[in-house]
């Protein structure tokens, strides 16, 4: 069918939010439900346009930066079927054209070495890389392809990820950047976007306030922002970036959750940690964490009372990188068995009875006084430590690290005492 560029067709936009704020998004629903909801039906011109006469294009349209395009291919069908439950094409924005060089750095898009002013994006400095184009990697767009992204950069599956570059031949509809005045009413003023360069995007106070609002709605106790946990998250975040080690085990850096907690001087019974790479603001971070059931369980747990957060910025291989680290600390009563408490009381009673008997042998002839002194010292040490441990257990308190270490030592002391008693009785 001949297309002179005058024909338009309605293209359905789902509520996934990848093109927000240009197009609306669904709120408070799952990905599949959002994918099935239609939030806009813009009129888009069919593409390509025109025809060829004597080798020259007539009434043709050449794609421009900022154009909104609808495209589909086998990959879009596969991704949409798996993620949203139905096969479809995608609607995104053209960010780089053939021959142009794109780089994603510090949350900005660089095109041929210059930062692009992107008023259509939902947030300033919100673009970070994916598995196809990672941060600080330059990519020259080959002929026949374009690099596309959604306006809502933190909620868009696009050329940064498995979708990769899009063939121009897969594009079927377009809204030229020159015909987007209606949508520009939703765009941002970009005049101050550069002031956010290399600054942290999330503060502990804003994150904890948002989290406590959710906890209050669910009748849960508020978490308290703890300065020592803020310090431990800073230590952990700086270590992650300095060593480029994003493993939970800290295999390269050696600075684990426990190590950073200890170095910060914080003490508690239950500890937990989240960390993520990217330029998330507090609200975005909350939404992201609640997407994962295990994370939501910790965020809404009554076992934790304290929380700390740091958004740490540095560079990895000359590439600006931010990691956000969150630490939780809480207390949980040990609930010892009555038999354990009774066992330590029995040990105290036995030692209290036998120590005076052995002391009566001090100075008597026929008794190895060196061995007797050693025995009494051992018995008195066991009695002193047993009293401390019994008090902890009786008050349902956790043992200190030193007291926990003593439990193994007590077994050794018991064996040494038994040996000395045998030797003294002969």
314 & 414 share domain = no
44 & 150 share domain = yes
Q: Quick one: angle between helices 227-243 and 257-264, nearest 10?
A: 130
Question: Which of 141, 175, 196 lies at the terminal end of a domain, its last residue?
Answer: 196
212, part of any domain = yes
415 & 292 share domain = no
Task: Classify residue 217 by burial, with Cβ atoms within 10 Å: 0-12, 13-18, 19+.
Answer: exposed
Predicted local distance difference test score (pLDDT) of residue 2:
47
Question: Which of 196, 214, 235 lies at the terminal end of a domain, its last residue?
Answer: 196
142 & 208 share domain = no
**Tokens, residue 142:** 């080959």
| DSSP single-letter state for residue 113 | T
**Tokens, residue 102:** 């794109």
CATH number at residue 172: 2.10.109.10
264, part of any domain = yes
Predicted local distance difference test score (pLDDT) of residue 53:
57
**Tokens, residue 178:** 């020159």
| Contact by Cβ (8 Å): 357, 406 | no
Q: Which of 142, 301, 140, 139 is nearest to 218 (CA)?
A: 301
**Tokens, residue 17:** 């939010």
pLDDT tens digit sequence for 290-331: 988 899 999 999 999 999 999 999 999 899 999 999 999 998
Q: What is the pTM of this model?
A: 0.70
Q: Which of 303, 326, 322, 306 is nearest to 314 (CA)?
A: 322
Per-residue pLDDT of the chain (426 residues; tens, 9 = 90+): 445 556 789 999 998 889 999 999 988 777 788 888 899 999 999 998 765 555 565 557 899 999 999 999 999 999 988 888 888 899 999 999 999 999 999 999 999 999 999 999 988 888 989 999 999 999 999 999 999 999 999 889 999 999 999 999 999 999 999 999 999 988 999 998 888 888 888 899 999 999 999 999 999 999 999 999 999 999 999 999 999 999 999 999 999 999 999 999 998 889 999 999 888 889 989 988 998 889 999 999 999 999 999 999 999 989 999 999 999 999 878 889 999 999 999 999 999 999 999 999 999 988 999 999 999 999 999 999 999 999 999 998 888 888 889 998 999 999 999 999 998 887
88 & 157 share domain = yes
257 & 324 share domain = yes
Question: Which of 165, 196, 227 lies at the terminal end of a domain, its last residue?
Answer: 196
128, part of any domain = yes
178 & 278 share domain = no
**Tokens, residue 216:** 């209050």
CATH number at residue 260: 3.40.33.10
CA dist 331 and 346 (Å) reads 29
What is the four-CA torsion angle of 260, 289, 196, 193, rounded to 10 degrees?
Answer: 170
178, part of any domain = yes
76, part of any domain = yes
3, part of any domain = no
275 beta partners: 325
| Contact by Cβ (8 Å): 92, 153 | no
Say how many domains are in the chain: 3
> Which domain, by its residues, includes 412?
338-424
Residues in the chain: 426
Predicted local distance difference test score (pLDDT) of residue 302:
94
CA dist 402 and 133 (Å) reads 51
296, part of any domain = yes
Euclidean distance between the first and the last CA atom of the chain, given in angstroms as a whole number: 113
Q: Which of 199, 148, 152, 194 is nearest to 174 (CA)?
A: 148
Compute the half-sphere exposure of residue 69: CA atoms within 13 Å on the CB side of its CA: 29
| Contact by Cβ (8 Å): 204, 225 | yes
267 & 317 share domain = yes
CA dist 318 and 121 (Å) reads 26
42 & 173 share domain = yes
| 317 CB-near residues (< 8 Å, 6+ apart) | 136, 244
In this structure, what are the phi and psi dihedrals at residue 392, rounded to the nearest 5 degrees? -60, -50
1, part of any domain = no
Match 């975040």 to its residue by tokens: 237
35 & 161 share domain = yes
46 & 177 share domain = yes
Give the C-alpha distances (Å, rounded to integers) separating 211 from 269, 287, 310, 332, 371. Answer: 22, 10, 15, 21, 63
Match 């120590």 to its residue by tokens: 355
Predicted local distance difference test score (pLDDT) of residue 203:
93
85 & 166 share domain = yes
Predicted local distance difference test score (pLDDT) of residue 54:
55
């Amino acid at each position: 069918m001949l297309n002179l560029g005058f024909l338009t067709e309605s293209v359905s936009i789902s509520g996934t939010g990848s093109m927000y704020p240009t197009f609306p998004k669904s709120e408070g629903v799952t990905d599949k439900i959002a994918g099935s909801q239609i939030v806009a039906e813009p009129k888009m011109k069919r593409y390509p346009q025109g025809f060829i006469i004597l080798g020259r294009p007539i009434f043709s349209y050449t794609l421009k930066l900022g154009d909104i395009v609808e495209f589909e291919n086998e990959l879009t069908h596969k991704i949409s079927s798996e993620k949203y439950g139905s096969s479809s094409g995608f609607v995104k924005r053209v960010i780089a054209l053939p021959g142009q060089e794109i780089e994603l750095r510090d949350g900005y898009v660089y095109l041929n070495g210059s930062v692009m002013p992107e008023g259509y994006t939902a947030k300033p400095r919100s673009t970070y890389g994916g598995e196809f184009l990672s941060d600080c990697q330059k990519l020259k767009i080959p002929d026949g392809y374009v690099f596309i992204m959604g306006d809502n950069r933190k909620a868009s599956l696009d050329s940064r990820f498995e979708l990769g570059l899009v063939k121009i031949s897969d594009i079927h509809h377009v809204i030229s950047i020159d015909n987007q005045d209606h949508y520009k009413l939703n765009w941002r003023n970009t005049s101050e976007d550069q002031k956010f360069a290399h600054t942290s995007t999330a503060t502990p106070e804003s994150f904890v306030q948002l989290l406590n609002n959710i906890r209050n709605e669910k009748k849960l106790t508020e978490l308290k922002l703890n300065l020592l946990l803020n310090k431990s998250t800073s230590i952990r975040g700086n270590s992650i970036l300095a060593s480029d080690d994003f493993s939970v085990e800290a295999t390269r850096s050696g600075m684990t959750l426990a190590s950073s907690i200890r170095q910060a001087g914080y003490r508690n019974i239950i500890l937990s940690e989240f960390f993520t790479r990217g330029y998330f603001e507090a609200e975005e971070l909350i939404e992201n964490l609640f997407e994962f059931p295990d994370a939501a369980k910790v965020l809404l747990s009554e076992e934790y009372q304290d929380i700390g957060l740091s958004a740490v910025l540095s560079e990895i291989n000359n590439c600006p990188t931010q990691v956000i680290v969150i630490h939780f600390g809480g207390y949980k009563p040990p609930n010892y068995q009555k038999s354990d408490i009774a066992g330590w009381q029995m040990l105290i009673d036995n030692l209290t009875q036998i120590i005076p008997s052995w002391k009566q042998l001090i100075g008597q002839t026929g008794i190895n006084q060196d061995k007797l002194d050693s025995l009494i010292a051992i018995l008195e040490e066991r009695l002193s430590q047993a009293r401390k441990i019994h008090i902890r257990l009786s008050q349902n308190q956790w043992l200190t690290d030193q007291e926990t270490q003593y439990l193994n030592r007590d077994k050794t002391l018991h064996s040494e005492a038994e040996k000395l008693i045998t030797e003294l009785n002969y």
